[in-house]
């Protein structure tokens, strides 16, 4: 009797929390250039967002975001944007663009790894969709949740992603 009452109360409470959440959709807090964002494994500071000519003739033009990345964990990370990777999500007019290419500014090669206490400047490059008309774009940053003791084994684990910040701006060089 007491157990079924408890279960019913828990279900009702959960439902009510969900309804509350849906009633007031929470937008992630806005950020601007130069403000650091905690993505879980790394701290990302957007430095600039600009349009750039194509890398090679015949390819579409690109949108480049320069960022500073700092590994916040105690070990070298290969999954800089979490696993599965959640790099900053770029949307324009409600359409989400495909994932960017991430290169290390130091040597122009793909970013393979980020070591603790060694901050790196990195460029994220999106190819412009052919039908894109210049205008403001929005970038959503996702943070992966870390648990020191998860509920299954009590081991440390990286779990869900949550939108943690949003940046809306007009890229430099846009007419």
Contact residues toward another protein (CB under 8 A) are 74-76, 78, 106-107, 109, 112-113, 115-120, 148-149, 153-156
CB of 18 or CB of 115, closer to another protein: 115
Q: Is 101 exposed, middle or buried (0-12, 13-18, 19+ CB in 10 A)?
A: middle
H or E element in which residue 44 lies: strand 42-52
Q: Which is nearer to another protein, 92 or 123 (CB)?
A: 123
Rounded to a whole number of angstroms, the minimum distance from the CB of residue 50 to another protein is: 24
State the nearest-atom distance from the C-beta of 137 to another protein, in Å. Answer: 30
Residue found under tokens 């943690």: 164
Query: Residue 100 Cβ, how far from another protein at the closest point, in Å?
Result: 19
Query: For residues 3 and 148, which CB has a smaller minimum distance to another protein in the complex?
Result: 148
Q: Which residues pair with 138 in a beta bridge?
A: 91, 168
* 142 within 8 A of 167, measured Cβ to Cβ: no
When the beta carbons of 47 and 52 are compared against another protein, the nearer one is 47
For residues 69 and 158, what is the distance between their CA atoms, to the nearest angstrom?
A: 19
């Amino acid at each position: 009797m007491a157990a079924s009452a408890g279960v019913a109360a828990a279900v009702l409470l959960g439902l009510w929390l969900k309804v509350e959440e849906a009633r007031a959709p929470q937008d992630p807090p806005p950020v601007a250039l130069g403000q650091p964002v905690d993505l879980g494994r790394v701290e990302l500071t957007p430095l600039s967002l600009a349009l750039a000519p194509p890398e090679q003739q015949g390819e579409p033009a690109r949108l480049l975001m320069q960022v500073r990345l700092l590994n916040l964990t105690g070990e070298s990370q290969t999954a800089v944007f979490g696993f599965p990777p959640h790099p900053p999500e770029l949307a324009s007019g409600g359409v989400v663009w495909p994932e960017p290419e991430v290169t290390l500014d130091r040597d122009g090669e793909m970013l393979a790894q980020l070591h603790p206490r060694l901050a790196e400047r990195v460029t994220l490059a999106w190819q412009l969709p052919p039908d894109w008309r210049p205008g403001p774009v929005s970038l959503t940053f996702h943070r992966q949740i870390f648990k020191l003791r998860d509920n299954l084994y009590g081991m440390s684990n990286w779990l869900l992603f949550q939108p943690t910040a949003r940046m809306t701006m007009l890229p430099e060089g846009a007419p």
